[in-house]
Amino acid sequence: MRQYLLEVGAFAEREKDLADVVLQVIVNSYMEKVQKWKGSERIMCEALRVLMADELNEERMEGQREGRIEGQREGRIEGQREGRIEGQREGQIRAYASLVQDGIITVETGAEKTGMSVGDFTKEMKQAGYVIPAV
């Protein structure tokens, strides 16, 4: 089998395709024997790893590429979601800060409505450029 696989490496592309079909037929016909050999899994697994090293490496690399693409996609979606939440929160704070600056509500009310302490709310107002009216 090893010799067969080594010789296949020198085949042209069309011949490799045919050799793959032959190999599949051989593997299928010996499946019962392979099941019996499973007791010596370590030897079989190591032999298969050696024989299939290039293919396994390609599959691993493809899996990593797919994982990166999926991770980036999920990261973008999560980032957009977090950005929307942060933007809504900032919009809420600015809306109440504007009402405070215009004297429509008190700093205490603005802080309460945004779920912040008075100190944090006034700090946010100042950082955003709002003026806190004198009482």
CA distance 94 to 97: 5
Angle at 31 between CA 13 and CA 50, to 5 degrees: 55
pLDDT score at 32: 67
pLDDT tens string, the chain, 135 residues long: the values are 566 656 656 667 777 677 777 777 777 777 666 666 655 555 667 777 777 788 888 888 999 999 999 999 999 999 999 999 999 999 999 999 999 999 999 999 999 999 999 999 999 999 999 999 886
Those residues with Cβ within 8 angstroms of residue 125's Cβ, 6 or more apart along the chain or in another chain: 93, 97, 100, 101, 107, 110, 132
Residue 119 confidence (pLDDT): 94
105: how many CB neighbours lie within 10 A of its CB? 17
Measured on CA atoms in the order 105, 106, 107, 113, is the torsion positive or negative? negative
